[in-house]
Amino acid sequence: MKMPIGINMVENTNSAEDMNSSRLSEDSNQSENEHGLSFLEDSLMYQLPNDYFSPDEQKENTTISVHQNTGINEEEEDERAVENQHHINEGSSPSETITKSSPSNDKCVGSNKRSRTQFEIDNHETRGVYFEPPRKKEASFGMKVMTMMGYQKGRGLGKNNQGRLEPVVAFHQKGRRGFAFEYTELKEAVTKWDPSLEVVEVDTKVKWMINELTPPSEHEMKDWIQEGEKKNTIDDETLFCDKNILQQIIKSKSIFDKFDKHEMRRARTRSNPFETIRGVFFQNRAAVKMAEMDKACDFMFTRPNGLEMHNPLYFADVCAGPGGFSEYVLWRRKWIAKGFGFTLRNSNDFKLEEFFAGPPETFHPYYGPKEDGNIYDTENQKALANLIMQQTKGQGVHFMMADGGFSVEGKENIQELLSKQLYLCQCLVALMIVREGGHFVTKLFDLFTTFSAGLIYLMSRCFKKISIFKPNTSRPANSERYLICQEKLPNINDVIAHLQHANEILLDGNKETDLVQLVPLEILQKNELFYQYLKESNDTLGNKQINGLLKIAAYCENIALIEERQSSIRTECLLHWELPDQSRTVPRYSRPEDRLQTILGSKFSAISDKAPHEIAITDADNTVCNPPCNWLFFPSAYNKSMPIECQPTLYYGMGRTRVHRLVKGTWHAVTGIELPPDTLVYAEMITEYRSEGKKQMKTHTLYIVDAWLLGAQDISQKFLPDRQYLIHQFCETLWKPTNNSFARVRPGKLHSLDEDMTRTIPLKSIQMKNGLDVMAYYPPQPSYSLNLNNDNEPFYYIPSGIIFMNFTRKPWSVHLSRSTGLHYFFNSKTNDKVYNDKRPQSAEADFSYSFEKRIILDVTNNESSSINLLNTKTKAKCCIPPRQ
Ligand X SMILES: C[S@@+](CC[C@H](N)C(=O)[O-])C[C@H]1O[C@@H](n2cnc3c(N)ncnc32)[C@H](O)[C@@H]1O
Out of 319, 428, 516, 681, the residue judged to bind ligand X by CB under 6 A = 319
Whole-angstrom Cα distance, residue 45 to residue 33?
15
Choice among 443, 470, 551, 736 that is catalytic: 443
> Backbone phi, then psi, for 351, in 5-degree steps?
-120, 80
Which lies closer to ligand X via its Cβ, residue 367 or residue 451?
367
* DSSP tag of 808: B
Q: How far apart are CA 85 and CA 627, in angstroms?
A: 76
Pairing mode of beta strands 313-318, 397-402: parallel
Q: Which is nearer to ligand X, 422 or 859 (CB)?
A: 422
Answer yes or no whether residue 804 interacts with ligand X by CB under 6 A. no
Binding flag, residue 329, ligand X (CB under 6 A): no
Please tell me whether residue 280 binds ligand X under the rule CB under 6 A.
Answer: no
Q: By C-beta, is 404 or 779 nearer to ligand X?
A: 404
Residue 375 near ligand X by CB under 6 A: yes
Report in angstroms how near the CB of residue 348 gets to ligand X at its nearest: 3
Strand partners, 825: 814, 834
- Give yes or no for residue 284 binding ligand X (CB under 6 A): yes
Member of 53, 131, 208, 406 binding ligand X (CB under 6 A): 406
- Which residues, listed in sequence order, are joined to residue 855 by a DSSP beta bridge? 613, 804
Closest residue by beta carbon to ligand X: 324
Q: Closest distance between ligand X and the C-beta of residue 373, in Å?
A: 5
Instruction: Report yes or no: 316 and 340 within 8 Å, Cβ to Cβ.
Output: yes
CA distance 733 to 674: 12
Separation of alpha carbons 736 and 744, rounded Å: 8
Q: 39 with 406: CB under 8 angstroms?
A: yes
Considering the rule CB under 6 A, would residue 376 count as an interface residue with ligand X?
yes
Say how many C-beta atoms besides its own lie within 10 A of residue 210's C-beta.
12
CA end-to-end span of the chain:
98
Q: Is 39 in the site for ligand X (CB under 6 A)?
A: yes
Pick between residue 364 and residue 744 the one whose CB is nearest to ligand X. Answer: 364
Nearer to ligand X, 104 or 346 (CB): 346
Q: Shortest Cβ distance from residue 674 to ligand X (Å)? A: 22
Selected from 28, 348, 450, 871, the binder of ligand X by CB under 6 A is 348
Q: By CB under 6 A, is residue 343 in contact with ligand X?
A: yes
599 scored as a contact of ligand X (CB under 6 A): no
CA distance 226 to 831: 80
Whole-angstrom Cα distance, residue 517 to residue 180?
50
324 binds ligand X (CB under 6 A): yes
Q: Per-residue b/e over 451-477, b at no fewer than 16 CB within 10 Å? A: bbbbbbbbbbbbbbbbbbbbbbbbbbb
Which of 66, 88, 98, 320 is in the footprint of ligand X by CB under 6 A? Answer: 320
365 belongs to the binding site for ligand X (CB under 6 A): no
Q: How far apart are CA 299 and CA 277, in angstroms?
A: 20
Residue in 11, 42, 74, 79 binding ligand X, rule: CB under 6 A: 42
The single residue among 48, 88, 234, 286 that binds ligand X, judged by CB under 6 A, is 286
In the residue annotation, 289 being an active-site residue is answered as yes
CB of 504 to ligand X, least distance (A): 16
Q: Is residue 751 classed as helix, strand or coil in its secondary structure?
A: strand
The C-alpha angle 726, 731, 736, rounded to 5 degrees, equals 155
Task: Give the burial class of 490: count Cβ atoms within 10 A of its Cβ; 0-12 exposed, 13-18 middle, 19 or more buried.
Answer: exposed
The DSSP code for 310 is T
**Applying CB under 6 A, does 404 fall inside the site for ligand X?**
yes
Q: Quick one: which of 215, 216, 279, 321 contacts ligand X (CB under 6 A)? A: 321
Quick check: 742 binds ligand X (CB under 6 A)?
no
Catalytic (active site) residue 295: no
Give yes or no for residue 322 binding ligand X (CB under 6 A). Answer: yes
d(CA 586, CA 357): 9
Q: Using CB under 6 A, which of 139, 344, 389, 642 touches ligand X?
A: 344
Between 131 and 376, CB nearer to ligand X: 376
Least CB distance to ligand X at residue 333 (A): 16
CB of 248 to ligand X, least distance (A): 26
- Nearest partner of 650 among 603, 674, 685, 676, judged by Cα: 685
Candidate ranges 140-148, 161-169, 371-379, 497-505; the one touching ligand X (CB under 6 A): 371-379
How big is the site for ligand X, counted in residues (CB under 6 A)?
A: 24
Other beta carbons within 10 Å of 647? 20
CA separation for the pair 732, 312 (Å, rounded): 9
Which is catalytic among the residues 317, 403, 514, 791? 403
Question: Which is closer to ligand X, CB of 320 or CB of 552?
Answer: 320
Residue 323 binds to ligand X (criterion: CB under 6 A): yes
**340 vs 423: CA distance, rounded Å:** 19
Binding site for ligand X (CB under 6 A): 39, 42, 284, 286-287, 319-325, 343-344, 348, 373-376, 403-406, 422
Catalytic residues: 289, 403, 443
